[in-house]
Structure 1
């Protein structure tokens, strides 16, 4: 199933599923369950569905199946033009963002060395010196444990919502990631058990103020205002249940204003989500609905290419099996 959260004209948020047809119509799951005589309290929201466990997913599946033969019902065929897309989890219980892709780090550090060398009198000699000294080299700890930071869970938007450019930055970037969503309380789990704790997957755009990030990361504490601003975290357009996609072989593409900037594959990750979950759950309880971001796929941001975003740009992040997450950048007073 492909599950979404959408807003109707009254302002209410509803849990929906995408119909498996070419029309792209939406099923109102709670309304559908009520119509066919099923208990629907677990379908009040994405989080309530996840917390309900297998029984909630079974009810949702029954509604989706019923919609195939009840397409004339209003709840079974809602036009996307009549709703507003929201983040599938409007306020995730938690979000941890990782660095699972080695290629992203190698590319980013190479670009940072080049940028630093270009400020010297002899850029070519400076670059050779930086490379010999291991300036911006991947730290060995990255190969020992899956590292992550915790993001601002209150700043999420969804598909087709505008990104508001933070007023303190002049260099904005996207990050092409995908994320897993946990299905249950999880603590001290084995690697094998961790694989079973994934409810589904979604696309994650971790928008970054690179000029600010480059300054504050010198303190070796972690990203703050380089990442923390309203509308800077984007999930969507849907959550695909884990049984509906091969998460180890998804093509990942980023387009800016229709131009392809990069293409990668989820299978190129050095770390797996199971490894991240097993590590993060040591002596700590992870919760249903918690999201874990993969980190940027190799080549999956402007920094790696020396290109950055402009006001008015439209970002499209496509991940096979999930869909396309689209957002426009808006800069106030410009």
Structure 2
């Protein structure tokens, strides 16, 4: 199933499921009509678990009268407008290596002798991936209050000059779950979506020199885009075998796969669950794929640029960068 959050004629955000033939099932209305547990937002849908999925599947098979919405009359929002938490990992060696190199180059450019500075950085091992990255999944926590959906404008932070996109696959946790094993970790996944944590690389580069962060480099309104759908886990046979594409203004920048993670999706989720309960609606992004952002080649977005992230089986997440 493909889940959405939509509005019609400026109405309230409503959870839905793609019903085919150009229609969306109004899950909230169907639940009210059928009785039982209310499903008034996507978090409630996720928290309802397998029983909730079974109810929705029955409505899709035989839609109740008046519960289908013409998709042409609906506007899609982020399918999960307020994730319970956001955790974003770094799981792709090519991206990590190239991003580290780009960060050192940006820092060197701000010095009187960039080449000499780069030589000092190399001698100090600043271009090396820290050993801990190979040993365990690593992540930062994002801001769930800054989430937007498909076709939303991304507003450039006032101090940012070097704006960037990131091509990522994310899991939405069904939970609650704690101390998962790798063998059962994927059973805790409700579904998968596309994640684009837009980044102000000049701010990020400066901030992370303190070995904190990211802070304002990624923490700004509209900074986290997800969507267009959450696809139920049963429809994604292997989350590490999906074709992933970036286009900027219609020009393809990379075509790759979700494979070759340093730490598998299952290992990543299991590790994060260690001694910490994962809750319904938690979003875990597995990291930017190699060449999945402009930072790696030191190319950045201009105002008005349209970024499209496409992931096989999920769809296309489209956003435009604008100035404030």
TM-score normalised per structure 2:
0.92
Distance 1:122 1:285 in 2: 46
Aligned to 2:156: 165
2:5 pairs with 1:9? no
- SS of the residue corresponding to residue 145 of structure 2 reads coil
CA contact (8 A) 2:310 2:317 kept: yes
2:311 pairs with 1:319? yes
2:27 pairs with 1:29? yes
Q: Structure 1's 126 and 57: CA in aligned 2 closer, same or farther, altered over 3 A?
A: same
Deviation at 1:277, TM superposition (A): 1.9
Deviation at 1:39, TM superposition (A): 3.2
Q: Structure 1's 52 and 2: CA in aligned 2 closer, same or farther, altered over 3 A?
A: same
Distance 1:170 1:128 in 2: 26
2:138 pairs with 1:138? no
- SS of the residue corresponding to residue 84 of structure 1 reads strand
- SS of the residue corresponding to residue 196 of structure 1 reads helix
2:35 pairs with 1:39? yes
- SS of the residue corresponding to residue 302 of structure 2 reads coil
Match of 2:190 among 180, 195, 199: 199
CA contact (8 A) 2:106 2:202 kept: no
Aligned to 2:242: 250
CA contact (8 A) 1:112 1:136 kept: no
Deviation at 1:133, TM superposition (A): 4.9
Distance 1:314 1:122 in 2: 32
Distance 2:75 2:176 in 1: 31
Q: Deviations over 1:230-278 (max 9, x none)?
A: 0001110010000001312111111111011112211121112221222
Aligned to 2:281: 289
Deviation at 1:129, TM superposition (A): 6.8
Distance 1:8 1:271 in 2: 41
Deviation at 1:33, TM superposition (A): 5.0
CA contact (8 A) 2:241 2:258 kept: yes
CA contact (8 A) 1:15 1:30 kept: yes
CA contact (8 A) 1:252 1:266 kept: yes
2:235 pairs with 1:237? no
Gaps of 5+ in 1: none
CA RMSD of aligned residues (A): 2.2
Deviation at 1:112, TM superposition (A): 3.7
Q: After alignment, is 239-248 or 264-273 more displaced?
A: 264-273
Alignment of 1:290-305 (within 5 A): 290-305=282-297
Q: Structure 1's 227 and 117: CA in aligned 2 closer, same or farther, altered over 3 A?
A: closer
Figure out how many residues of one structure are paired with residues of the other and give that number: 322
2:46 pairs with 1:50? yes
Alignment of 1:258-269 (within 5 A): 258-269=250-261
Distance 2:118 2:216 in 1: 29
Distance 2:287 2:215 in 1: 16
Aligned to 1:99: 90
- SS of the residue corresponding to residue 154 of structure 1 reads helix
Gaps of 5+ in 2: none
Q: After alignment, is 114-123 or 289-298 more displaced?
A: 114-123
- SS of the residue corresponding to residue 261 of structure 1 reads strand
Q: Structure 1's 297 and 26: CA in aligned 2 closer, same or farther, altered over 3 A?
A: same
Q: Deviations over 1:195-252 (max 9, x none)?
A: 2101110000010010000011011122110110000011100100000013121111
Distance 2:154 2:108 in 1: 32
Q: Deviations over 1:98-150 (max 9, x none)?
A: 11111101222233445566667684x87677556533211000011101111
- SS of the residue corresponding to residue 144 of structure 2 reads coil
Q: Structure 1's 149 and 169: CA in aligned 2 closer, same or farther, altered over 3 A?
A: same
TM-score normalised per structure 1:
0.89
Aligned to 1:150: 141
